[in-house]
């Protein structure tokens, strides 16, 4: 299959006001993503006004096998034990909207409404929120979907002045704990990139798997990353060989140059022989 053909096939998009639980769970298993009411599947993403091509890596955490946070992740959970965490069905309010606006400006130096991510009036499946309070002040919030035996992280936000607490990690950990408590099989944190580190923090969670576009299945992340690096090395080698071949003159030109070089050598030998006879 031609790479351009593959790129076209997996860059899919549709909008629906309502999608069944069974359908959303199946879409997640096939590497789909959701932003508001838009469902999309992207192998490639173009940034910097289309000049940079990034390859997307849909991720999920396999909870069907023993799961344990790393030492570093356990420390993040421990240092935030003083906070009150509430997990409940989705219910947007002004406090959440203000927090999201502050985080959006801090994180991306831009503004987009939370309603572009959360469409509460048309949610076709259970959506929940993790609300984190320091006493009575909301300092972080995250949102996730429940689709059968699968969970999907939508987005998270926190107050910029509380960034030292690693609350983006903390709310994700709480979502995973909720999934484990309710015996769900997978938690999807969205996607990362093969060739850009901006979302690499998602790859640090245990039992991470990535969706392989070529084999159309989920593969443990270390193996998938190794396969990608091998594929990249092979592509670079092929490009180098192609460039080398393109830099060489055509075969007929090679033959002409070789013949000319041989004739030059023969002429030089003849001249040397003549000079030897004269002396």
pLDDT digits (tens, 9 = 90+) for 138-167: 999 999 999 999 999 999 999 999 999 999
Q: What are the pLDDT digits (tens) for 27-39?
A: 999 999 988 888 8
Higher pLDDT, 236 or 5: 236
Higher pLDDT, 1 or 159: 159
pLDDT at 44: 86
pLDDT at 104: 87
**Confidence class for position 1, pLDDT limits 50, 70, 90:** very low
SS3 content of the chain, % helix, strand, coil (to 5): 45, 30, 25
> CA 148 to CA 171: how far, in whole Å?
21
What percent of the chain shows pLDDT beyond 70? 77
Q: What are the pLDDT digits (tens) for 200-233?
A: 999 999 999 999 999 999 999 999 999 999 988 8
Higher pLDDT, 183 or 15: 183
Q: How many CB atoms lie within 10 A of CB 275?
A: 9
pLDDT at 24: 92
What long-range pairs does 112-116 form, CB within 8 A, spacing at least 24? 114/155, 114/157, 115/36, 116/35, 116/36
pTM of the complete model beyond 0.75: yes
**Confidence class for position 105, pLDDT limits 50, 70, 90:** confident
Whether 117 has a pLDDT exceeding 90, the answer reads: no
Whether 266 has a pLDDT exceeding 80, the answer reads: no
pLDDT at 79: 97
> CA 23 to CA 14: how far, in whole Å?
13
Q: What are the pLDDT digits (tens) for 231-261?
A: 888 888 776 666 676 665 555 655 665 566 5
DSSP secondary-structure letter at 248? Answer: S
Average pLDDT over residues 8-15: 68
Contact 146, 65 (CB under 8 A): no
């Amino acid at each position: 299959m031609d790479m351009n053909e593959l790129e076209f096939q997996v860059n899919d998009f549709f909008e629906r006001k309502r999608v069944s639980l069974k359908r959303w769970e199946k879409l997640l298993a096939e590497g789909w993503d959701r932003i508001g009411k838009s469902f999309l599947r992207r192998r490639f993403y173009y940034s910097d006004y289309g000049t940079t091509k990034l390859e997307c890596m849909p991720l999920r955490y396999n909870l069907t096998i023993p799961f344990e946070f790393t030492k570093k992740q356990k420390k993040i959970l421990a240092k935030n034990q003083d906070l009150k965490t509430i997990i409940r069905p989705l219910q947007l309010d002004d406090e959440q909207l203000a927090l999201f606006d502050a985080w959006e400006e801090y994180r991306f130096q831009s503004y987009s409404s939370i309603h572009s991510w959360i469409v509460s009036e048309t949610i076709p499946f259970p959506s929940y929120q993790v609300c984190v309070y320091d006493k009575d002040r909301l300092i972080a919030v995250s949102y996730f979907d429940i689709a059968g035996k699968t969970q999907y992280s939508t987005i998270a936000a926190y107050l910029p002045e509380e960034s030292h607490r690693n609350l983006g990690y903390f709310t994700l950990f709480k979502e995973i704990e909720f999934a484990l408590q309710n015996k769900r099989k997978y938690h999807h944190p969205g996607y990362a990139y093969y060739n850009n580190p901006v979302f690499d923090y998602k790859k640090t969670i245990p039992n991470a798997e990535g969706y392989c576009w070529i084999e159309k299945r989920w593969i443990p992340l270390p193996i998938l990353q190794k396969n990608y690096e091998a594929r990249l090395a092979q592509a670079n080698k092929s490009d180098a060989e192609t460039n080398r071949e393109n830099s060489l003159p055509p075969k007929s030109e090679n033959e002409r140059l070789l013949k000319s070089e041989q004739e030059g050598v023969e002429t030089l030998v003849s001249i040397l022989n003549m000079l030897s006879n004269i002396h």
